[in-house]
């Protein structure tokens, strides 16, 4: 039985859905169709993998120090927020490199 703090609400589902949409929008890459889809999926997987790793790392490093125990719901939300953050900042970084004439991959 879940406690009230771990119950998923419509607001939580909305945040996850919005995060997925924003991450997808900022992950779309141009180019020839088969290659562009592969690159976009690769970026999406990387952002969510980075999100999982960062959440596990932050929780592992700070849980004992600050004496808190985040529940699974909070950790899942943090993963989606981190993935969105990584997608937005990566696109900003690539745009900056393109505007300054530097090469990016």
Q: Which of 18-32, 39-53, 58-72 has the highest mean pLDDT?
A: 39-53
Q: Is residue 86 part of a domain?
A: yes
- What pLDDT was estimated at residue 4? 61
Question: Among 41, 36, 19, which residue's Cα sits nearest to residue 88?
Answer: 19
Q: Is residue 6 part of a domain?
A: no
What are the pLDDT digits (tens) for 53-104? 999 999 999 888 888 888 899 999 999 999 999 999 998 998 888 888 887 6
Q: Is residue 57 part of a domain?
A: yes
Question: Among 72, 70, 27, 67, which residue's Cα sits nearest to residue 50?
Answer: 27
Q: How far apart are CA 53 and CA 59, in angstroms?
A: 10
Q: How far apart are CA 97 and CA 37, in angstroms?
A: 22
Looking at the structure of the chain, the number of domains it has is 1
Q: Is residue 31 part of a domain?
A: no
In 54-74, which positions are buried (b, 16+ CB within 10 angstroms) versus exposed (e)? bbeeeeeeeeeeeeeeeeeeb
Q: Is residue 2 part of a domain?
A: no
Q: Is residue 21 part of a domain?
A: no
Q: Is residue 16 part of a domain?
A: no
**Structural domain range at position 89:** 36-104
């Amino acid at each position: 039985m879940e406690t009230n703090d771990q119950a998923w609400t419509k607001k939580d589902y909305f945040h996850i859905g919005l995060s997925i949409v924003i991450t997808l929008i900022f992950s779309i890459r141009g180019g020839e169709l088969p290659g562009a889809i592969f690159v976009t999926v690769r970026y999406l997987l990387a952002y969510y993998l980075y999100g999982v790793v960062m959440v596990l790392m932050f929780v592992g490093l700070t849980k004992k120090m600050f004496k808190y125990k985040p529940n699974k719901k909070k950790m899942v939300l943090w993963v989606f927020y981190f993935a969105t953050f990584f997608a937005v900042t990566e696109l900003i970084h690539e745009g900056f490199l393109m505007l300054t004439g530097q090469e990016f991959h």
